Structure 1
Amino acid sequence: MTTLSKSKEEMLDPSSTDMRLPSWSTPGSCAALSEVIEAARCALPADVLDFLEGGAGEERSLRENQEAFRRWNFVPQVMSGRGMPDLSTSFLGIPLAMPVLTSPFGADGLFHPQGQCAVARANAAEAVASIVPEAGTYSFEAVAEAAPDAARIAQLHPMGSPENFVTMLHRIEKAGYHAVCITVDCPTAGWRERDLQDRFGSDITTMISGNYPSDGPNRPEDVFGQLFAHSGVVWSWVQLGDLMNETSLPWIAKGVITGADARAAVAAGADAVLVSNHGGRQLDGVPAALDQLPEVVSAVAGRVEVALDSGIRRGSDIVTALALGANVVVIGRLAAYGLAAGGESGVRRVHQLLRAEMLTVLTLLGAGGVAELGSSAVRANFVL
């Protein structure tokens, strides 16, 4: 566990990072996402890799997230007469070259010295959007400065002081963000046994202090203490909706997996819902996010946009999610693997490989673009 015993300055110094990549696996030479993942696994210390790959409890929901995609088959239309597929779309008014955003994974300096700054630069180059974490190694302002042309959404936790929450909304507006993502499924941290067994996290505060430096008015332990102390008040939809009136930015409710919660999010004023079980990292035993997607899509009935994360590991998974009603997907672990494998170039390679596979799948499906995808493109291979 030497990683967390290093100072923050050492961890953010590229020369101090133990990058044990295979000689063949520079990001640009990776021919498949599996090679990016292998390179990341070689680069990361064991406890950090467990932090990235692990889930809550027995990790049932973690496994189900990926297995859910295997429960759907594609239904191709051959000889379609269409040209090459168009992957471009938009989300909350943000133009995207393909329907992908990166998730607000925190403690990003553990994976690469440049953390979310590198992710944002990669996303700007590939014309996709970043969701930038509140509990990140770099501040919202620093990420914005690192990639001024990037499409950026800022993430916040609905907990702690309402006054600090509103202050952060104003900071986000001032920093030029396009939207806000509220993580509603994390009033406390999940029971993550890999991290507990690794004795991981005692010094992680240094990696989540970007927005709350120790010499500022709020310390990380003050803002995020509820996550680890298992104490505090869980906010209501009414309270969150009232506070979101303090900004004119559109906002996403992240962590919704039921139709009832989706309708509550819409009633609270959300402009989008993100169907997610936090990558299986919060409550073990909940259904796979993909399994819940049709229920949420039906519940919102076109009133707001719908995104999906949890379990996406390849381009064909993205196509499946879009066919089942998602407007876009959000990738977390894949982006973190790319970051660990090679910083900005590693994240770019992840996007390039996702794009190439999506183009292949859509062409073979006979679809002219992501806008044409619907439920007729997939068929369940299971009996409800």
Structure 2
Amino acid sequence: MTDLTAKPASTPTSTPDATPASTPDTSGRMYPEETGFAVLQEIRDAALEYLSDDVVDFLEGGAGAETNLRANRGAFERWAIKTRPMSGVSRPQTATEFLGIPLASPILTAPFGGDGLFHEDGHLAVARANAACGTASMVPEAGTFSYEQVADTAPAAARIAQLHPFDHFEASAERAKKAGYTTLCVTVDCSTAGFRVRNRTNRFNPDLSYFGGNRDGVDTPQVAEMFERLLGLDTPAWDWARLAEATERCAMPWIAKGILTAEAAERAIEAGASALVVSNHGGRQLDPAPASIDALPEVAEVAAGRVHIALDSGVRSGSDIFTALALGADVVLIGRLAVYGLAAAGEHGVRRTIELLTEELSTIMMLAGRATVGEITADDLVRRPR
């Protein structure tokens, strides 16, 4: 197993450009006031100023030749949204719900691990931002903070606990349930970590504590053993039957994250999943794999009327959210965008990210003549010519 004991530098190398008004957070960084970030690009630019090069590669890199990473963006760009002049639509409503969780906007933050690498408040800040925006967090098992810590800081937003199908699955699920989570998100596409060339080239060795928030109270494996499993090729992998048995004993609704085919969607539903996340892990697992937005229609056809659907990987704008909803998703997950916000300005950065995405989505809905997210359909899209 790769040595994962040396902390990378992730302290600011310089101060990002900001409006004259600024405020410190708990780390001592000075951030723009709430109106400081006008667009998402400014948030990303600020984030990259704070992070060391190896942490940026960990964040932005993908598996293999990063074909899948590029495909996620290219696939979105092949879709255009129809405009509907004089539709009479004003003040579109972005509110929706996902598995009984009310959302002011169809956005969840993805369960990215190692959050303390990007900001010392990690998913505590992410959850607080979601609570302020009326959205929700998927809280990771391999995060810097425990399920309990995140739930305590923002119980309204910390509703979904992510975990892996390893031997300690039921212990982790029980722990999340006691902490107040109502739903599990099972990452099914990570029996081993992807072959991530940038991390290997950088000899990237983050301290395990960044990923070990939930190591206490779980008998086995401890966080180091979890990484042995994620990075090993000879570890026994679960199948759908074993997952179905474990989730039935847990007696909680669960989401299957990492679905890219109709076959996998059907197997997950048969195993008892209440929702599916169409995801290629942000291009970080199998390269090349289908772009998530390309896989969405066939998964949506299988899932229609049976389970909820979320879309993850490649979402970078409000127009991407609209496109995902049109092709069958109920909500989207934001991973890298949330990390940029976190690194740029902690809670405020994540909050501003969600606000800007929601504002852009609302603008596009008005121009496309859709008053609610439930009105958005495939009829709102057209393929761009090659």
Same fold flag (TM > 0.5): yes
Residue 241 of structure 1 corresponds to 244
Residue 147 of structure 2 corresponds to 140
Residue 131 of structure 2 corresponds to 124
Task: Work out the number of aligned pairs and report it.
Answer: 370
Residue 92 of structure 2 corresponds to 85
Mark the CA change 1:272 to 1:363 in structure 2 (over 3 Å): closer, same or farther: same
2:50 aligned to which of 43, 53, 65: 43
1:303-324 per-position Cα deviation (integer Å, ceiling 9, x unaligned): 1011001000111100010011
Segments of 5+ residues of structure 2 without an aligned counterpart are 20-30
Aligned partner of 2:125: which letter?
A: A
TM (normalized to structure 1)?
0.93
- Give the 5 Å matches for 1:40-119: 40-119=47-126
How far, CA to CA, are the matches of 1:44 and 1:366 in structure 2? 41
Which is richer in helix?
1
Aligned partner of 1:180: which letter?
A: L
Residue 169 of structure 1 corresponds to 173
Residue 18 of structure 1 corresponds to 12
Measured after TM superposition, the shift of residue 178 of structure 1 is 1.9
2:17·2:46 contact (CA, 8 Å) conserved in 1? no
How far, CA to CA, are the matches of 1:48 and 1:97 in structure 2? 32
Residue 209 of structure 2 is aligned to residue 206 of structure 1: yes
Residue 354 of structure 2 corresponds to 351
TM (normalized to structure 2)?
0.92
Give the match's secondary structure for 1:66: helix
How far, CA to CA, are the matches of 1:135 and 1:376 in structure 2? 40
Measured after TM superposition, the shift of residue 21 of structure 1 is 3.1
1:63-120 per-position Cα deviation (integer Å, ceiling 9, x unaligned): 0101111101111222112231000000000000000000000000000001001100
Residue 189 of structure 2 corresponds to 185
Residue 274 of structure 1 corresponds to 277
Give the match's secondary structure for 2:243: helix
- Give the 5 Å matches for 1:326-341: 326-341=329-344
1:122-145 per-position Cα deviation (integer Å, ceiling 9, x unaligned): 000001010000001011001111
2:111·2:139 contact (CA, 8 Å) conserved in 1? yes
Give the match's secondary structure for 1:131: strand
1:316·1:358 contact (CA, 8 Å) conserved in 2? yes
How far, CA to CA, are the matches of 1:382 and 1:307 in structure 2? 27
Residue 285 of structure 1 corresponds to 288
How far, CA to CA, are the matches of 1:190 and 1:358 in structure 2? 32
Residue 378 of structure 2 corresponds to 375
Aligned partner of 2:202: which letter?
A: D
How far, CA to CA, are the matches of 1:342 and 1:125 in structure 2? 15
Residue 255 of structure 1 corresponds to 258
1:194 aligned to which of 195, 198, 216: 198
Mark the CA change 1:347 to 1:221 in structure 2 (over 3 Å): closer, same or farther: same
1:308-358 per-position Cα deviation (integer Å, ceiling 9, x unaligned): 010001111000100111000000000000000010000001011101111
How far, CA to CA, are the matches of 2:235 and 2:302 in structure 1? 30
Segments of 5+ residues of structure 1 without an aligned counterpart are none
Aligned partner of 1:103: which letter?
A: A
1:238-291 per-position Cα deviation (integer Å, ceiling 9, x unaligned): 100110012232110000000000000000000000000000000011110000
Aligned partner of 2:195: which letter?
A: W
After superposing the two structures, state which structure 1 stretch, 87-96 or 149-158, moved more.
149-158
User: How much identity, in percent, do the aligned residues show?
Assistant: 50
1:169·1:246 contact (CA, 8 Å) conserved in 2? no
How far, CA to CA, are the matches of 2:107 and 2:295 in structure 1? 19
Residue 153 of structure 1 corresponds to 160
